[in-house]
Amino acid sequence: MTLQQPCKDPRVSAEDRIIRLKVNGVWHEFYVGHDIEEADTLAYLLREKLGLSGLKVACDDGACGACTVILNGEAVLSCMTLAVDADGQDILTIEGLPKDDPVIAAFAEQSEPGYGTAMQCGYCTPGFVMTVKAFLNENPNPTAQEIKDALSGNICRCGCYAAIAKSVEHAAEKISRQASKP
Amino acid sequence: MSNQFKRRVNRKYLGTYRPRIDGWEKASGRAEFIDDMTLKCRLPNILYAKALHSPYPHAIIKNIDISKAEKLPGVEAILTYKDLEIVSLKPMNAGWTDGVDTVSYERMMWKKLRDRRILGSHAFWVGDEVGAVVAAKSERIGEEALRLIKVEWEVLPFVLDPIESMQPGAPVLHPELSQNNILPAEPIGGADVFVNIGDVERGFTEADINIEVKAIYHNATQGSLDNWCCLASWKDDQLTVWSNSYEADQTRMFLSEMLVIPQNKVRVISPFVGGQFGRGDTGEDPFFIYTALLAKRTGSPVKFKHTRRESFHNTRQPIIYTCKMGSGKDGTISSSYFKSIGNAGAYADHTCFATKFVPQEIVEVSFAHIPNVKMESYAVYTNKIPGCMMRGVGNNQFNLIFGLAVDALAEKLGMDPIELALKNFGHKWEKLPDKSLEAVLHEGARRIGWDKRHKPGKGRTYDGSKKRGIGFSFHPGWHAAWQEQRRGTIQAGIKLNPDGTVVLLAPTVECGPGSNTCNVLSCAEALSFLGVKPKDISWTSTVDTDSGLKDTVQTDSAVSYLQSEVLVEAAAKIRGEVMKLAAKHFKVSRDQIVIEDGIVCLKAQVKKSITVKKLLQKGDLVPIVAMASSRPHNRKTGVPYQATFAEVEVDTATGQTQVLRMIILNDCGTVMFASGAEAQQCGGQCMTVGESLLEEIVYDEKTGVPLDFNWVEYKIPTIADMPKVEPVLFEVWKGAGEYGACGIGEGVVTCGPRAIANAIYNAIGVRIDDIPITPDKILKALGRI
C-alpha cells in the first residue's frame, strides 16, 4: 500500500512534492504523499487537515455548492478542486471573513416579512455566503435576475431561496453604505 | 405589509418577525455539525467504517473471503455476517417509532415486521448494506479493502413493480413474514380494509354523480445535505455515540436494546443537524450498531458517514391510489372509497404508517361528515430502495388523490371545487363549514384570482405554445397537541442565574425548523415579568443524553409549541421562588408582592420596590432551577387547515412546466415565530416543486440498478427552478393550552404536488396524475409523442 507513504519516484524532487497554499492570509505547506495524497481534494485538505469546517462536503459531485471557497477572488467548488492544483494559490474560506462581514450579517439577520429566514438547518449557508461574497465583489449592484443566475449552482434543501435572494440585496445595500462612508 | 397575519393575542416576543437565534452562528460557518466535530485533526486516532453494498437487487452471499482485505495496511478490523457479534443481533426494522414517542425493542411500532438483519447475508436491493464492514485508517483504504473482499453471490430473481410482486410466482422476499410479499396486518394501521364506515356501495348507488380517479406518487428522497453520520467510541464499558439522528434519547434506547447494555452506559450526543426531513425517522439504522461494534473491536473511535450515493438510503413510500367518490347533485358527498398499493421496497419500515395510519387519522379530522367511507390498502415488498419516512409522510401521497377527487368531482358536478370542499370536509367536533378551511381557501382564491379561472385547456396561449393554469389543494394539519399524546411527558426547564440571565433547558435536536428560536421566545414571554429578554437566554445547540432531560423530537414543527407550553409551567414555578425571596426581603406575606417587568414591589406601596436583579443578588447566589414535565393537552380540538394555490405555465411544444406562483396558506393556531413559520412555508416548496416536476429515482428495469443516486441526475430544485412563493399565516383555529398552536413544517409540503397537477390540468386540459410530471409525460398526454 503506497497511499500513506511519500512519493518514491526518483524523477520527482522533494521540492516538487511540497505544495504551499495561502489560506486566509497564512501560508501552509503540505508534503504530498505524506500529509496529503495526489487525489485529495481542496475540501479535504481545508477541513480535515486545517480544521476549517465552515465549508461542507454535501454532494461531493460539484452539484450543490456547499463546499464553495474563494480562490484568487473567484468562487470555486473545493470538492471538485484537487489540493495539489491549489498549489501557490490564495484561498479564502468563511473563517477568513470578518465577524461583521456584511454578507454574513445579511444572511444572519434576514427576517423581512414575506420571505422567511435565509437559512433553516444552515448546512448550505457558508457555501451560499462565499458564492455571494465573490459575486458581489464582481457585481456590487445586481438585478434580481443576476442574483438568481449567480446562485443557481447552490442547493438549499430547506428551500430558503427567496430569503437568500433578499439577503443578497440587503448585503449589497450594506456594502454600498459602507463604501460611501468617508 | 400585506403579508402579515392578524394576531389573536399581541405578545411581546412570540409571533414576531425576527432573525433566528442561531442566524449568526449558522451564517458565519461556526455552527458545528457532526462531520465538523469528528474531523481527523481533532481525533487523530479516528478510524472509518465502510460497509459492503449489494450490487444486485436480490442475492445471497454464499461465501465471503476477507483474507486479502485484512492484509491491506491501514485496515484495522473487518466484521462479517459470520462473526458472533453480528450473528447474535436481534432482527429489527429501521424507525422503531414515528418519532412521537420513545420505545423499546418490545414496544416498537411494527413488531410483526422485523425484517432487517444487521449486516446479514441476504441482499434485497442494490445498495443494501450486507455481508461485511471494514474499519480503516482512511475512507480510501476502507473502500480499497471492500474491493479486495471476495464475495460469492447467488443471484436471485427480483421484482420492482408492486403489482407484479403481489402475483403468484413472483420472487418472495421475506417468506418468514409474508408468502405473497404483502405486508401482514399490524395492530397499528389495522387490517387490509382499515376503515369501513357506513356502506360505501349503497352510497355510490344512491349518489347522483360518481367519479373514479387514480394517482401515483413516486419515491422521492429526503436529500438532507448533512449525510447520515455517527462516531462511536468506548471507554471501558461506556459507549459514547455522536450522531446526526434527530432523536438522541431514542438512539440511546436503540443502542442499549440492540447491544444489550444498560442505558446509563450509553451516551448519545447530537449537535445541529443539516436537515432531517424524516430520513430513517427515529433512525434505528444498522450502521449505528456495526460502527459501535467496530469501535469496540479496535479500541479506537470509529466514524461512519454516508457518501452522497449511499445517502439514497430510504425514501418516501411510493403509492398507487385509486378513489371513487359519489355525491348528490347539490354536492353533498355521500360516499368515498380509497384503495392503495404501497411499494415498501426491500424492507417494511414505516410503509404502513403512510398507507394506513395516516389516512385513518385523516378520516377523523376531514371525512367526519361523510356517511360512507371505506379505505383499503396493501403494502408490498419489492427489490427497490426501502420507503421509510419523509416530511409529509402518507399525507402527501393521500393529498395527491384526495385533491384530484375533489377537483374531478366538482368538474363533473359543474361546481366550484372550493364550494365542494367547504360543503363536505371538516373534523367531527365542529359543524361545517370548517372556519379554518374557509379562511385558507377564501384567501388563497382571492390572491390567485380564482374567479377568473378559465375552463381546463381553454385559456389564452402565450408566446405561441405556452398555456397557463391555476389549481389548488387543501389538507388538514396533523400535529395539534391532542395528536401528540403518545409522546408521553414533555420535559423542559429554566435555570435563572443570580444575575438575572437564563439558561434554557429545552433539549431538542435542531435540524432546521427553528423551534430553538420558538423556545427562546416563549421562555422570554413566560419570564417577561422578570424583565428577561430573548438576548438574556442561552440555549444549547447540543443534545446530550447525560444532561438530564429527555429531548423532544422535531416531528413536523410540533416542537415549536410543545416545549413552550411546558415552559409556561416552569416559569410559574420560577415566579413562586422569586416571590418567596421577595416576601423574605420585604418581610411580608407572598400575596402582598407584585412582580412586573423586572421590578418587585408591594401591592399596597408601589413605591417600595426593588429590581429583580438586585433581589437575586441578595440571596445565596444559587441559581433558581425549575423543571416541568407534562403531557400535551388532550382536549379534542380538531385541527387547523392548510392550502396551496399554484399557477403554472406549460409549454405545449417542449412539455416543460414552469411554476409561476405559489401561495402557501397555513392556519397555525398561534404563530410562534413568524419568520420561522414563513421560512417553512417558502422553503417547503423546494421539495414540492422537486417532487412534482423534477425529482425521481430511475431504475434500469432489466438489472434493478438505480441510475441516479447523485445530485447531478437526481434534480433538487435550485433558486433558478423556484417560483414566486407567497406565505400566508392565520390564527383562526385554536388548540388547547396557553398557545394552542399546531405544527406546519410537514403540511407545507403536502398540498403542493396536487395543486401543481391541478394547475397543469387547468392549463392544458389533460390530466397527468403520475408525478413527477416530466416533459415526456406532458407531450405524451397531448398526443405529441
DSSP at B357 = I
Closest Cα of chain B to A29: distance in Å?
A: 16
Residue of chain B nearest A96, judged by CA positions:
B28
Average pLDDT score over chain A: 93
Average pLDDT over residues B76-100: 94
Q: Within its chain, how far is the Cα of B542 from the centroid?
A: 20
pLDDT at A104: 98
- Using the Cβ of A7 and the Cβ atoms of chain B, whether some distance falls under 8 Å is answered with no
Average pLDDT over residues A159-165: 98
C-alpha cell at position B97: 417509532
**Using 50, 70 and 90 to split pLDDT, how confident is the model at B702?**
very high
Residues 6+ apart with CB under 8 A from B530: B496, B500, B574, B578, B595, B598, B612
Contact residues, A window 137-156, toward B, CB-based 8 Å cutoff = 148-149, 151-156
Task: For residue B315, count other CB atoms closer than 10 A to its CB.
Answer: 24
Residue B201 three-state SS = helix
pLDDT at B256: 98
Q: Which residue has the higher pLDDT, A10 or B472?
A: B472
ipTM value: 0.97
Residue-wise pLDDT tens digits, B639-656: 999 999 999 999 999 999
Residue-wise pLDDT tens digits, B247-275: 999 999 999 999 999 999 999 999 999 99
Q: Is B283 left (phi over 0), alpha (psi -120 to 50) or beta?
A: left
Q: Are B576 and B500 in contact, with CB atoms under 8 Å apart?
A: no
Residue-wise pLDDT tens digits, B204-223: 999 999 999 999 999 999 99
pLDDT exceeds cutoff 50 at A1: no
pLDDT at B95: 86
- Using the Cβ of B262 and the Cβ atoms of chain A, whether some distance falls under 8 Å is answered with no
Strands, E assignment, B523-656: 537-539, 543-544, 593-596, 599-602, 609-611, 624-630, 641-651
C-alpha span between A118 and A111 (Å, rounded): 8
Which residues of chain B neighbour A158 with C-beta distances below 8 Å?
Answer: 275, 512, 679, 683, 686
pLDDT exceeds cutoff 50 at A2: no
Contact residues, B window 668-707, toward A, CB-based 8 Å cutoff = 674-687
**Do the Cβ atoms of A159 and B30 come within 8 Å?**
no
Task: Point out the residue among B26, B718, B720 whose CB comes nearest to the CB of A119.
Answer: B26
DSSP at B717 = -
DSSP at A32 = B
Task: For residue B6, count other CB atoms closer than 10 A to its CB.
Answer: 8
pLDDT at B99: 81
What does B664-675 look like in DSSP terms, one character per residue?
EEEE-SS-S-HH
Residue-wise pLDDT tens digits, B307-321: 999 999 999 999 999
Contact residues, B window 125-154, toward A, CB-based 8 Å cutoff = 137-138, 140-141, 144
Average pLDDT over residues B490-513: 96
Residue-wise pLDDT tens digits, B537-582: 999 889 999 988 999 998 888 899 999 999 999 999 999 999 999 9
- Using the Cβ of A117 and the Cβ atoms of chain B, whether some distance falls under 8 Å is answered with yes
Average pLDDT over residues B2-23: 91
pTM of the predicted model, to two decimals?
0.97
Average pLDDT over residues B143-170: 98
B200 forms beta bridges with none
Average pLDDT score over chain B: 96
Residue B317 three-state SS = coil
C-alpha span between A150 and B358 (Å, rounded): 41
pLDDT exceeds cutoff 80 at A4: no
Residue of chain B nearest A145, judged by CA positions:
B720
pLDDT exceeds cutoff 90 at B282: no
pLDDT at B548: 81
- Using the Cβ of B4 and the Cβ atoms of chain A, whether some distance falls under 8 Å is answered with yes
pLDDT at A85: 96
- Using the Cβ of B569 and the Cβ atoms of chain A, whether some distance falls under 8 Å is answered with no
Residue A48 three-state SS = helix
Contact residues, B window 62-121, toward A, CB-based 8 Å cutoff = 72-74
Q: Are B172 and A39 in contact, with CB atoms under 8 Å apart?
A: no
| Mutation site for B-interface testing, chosen from A1, A59, A60 by largest number of B Cβ within 10 Å | A59
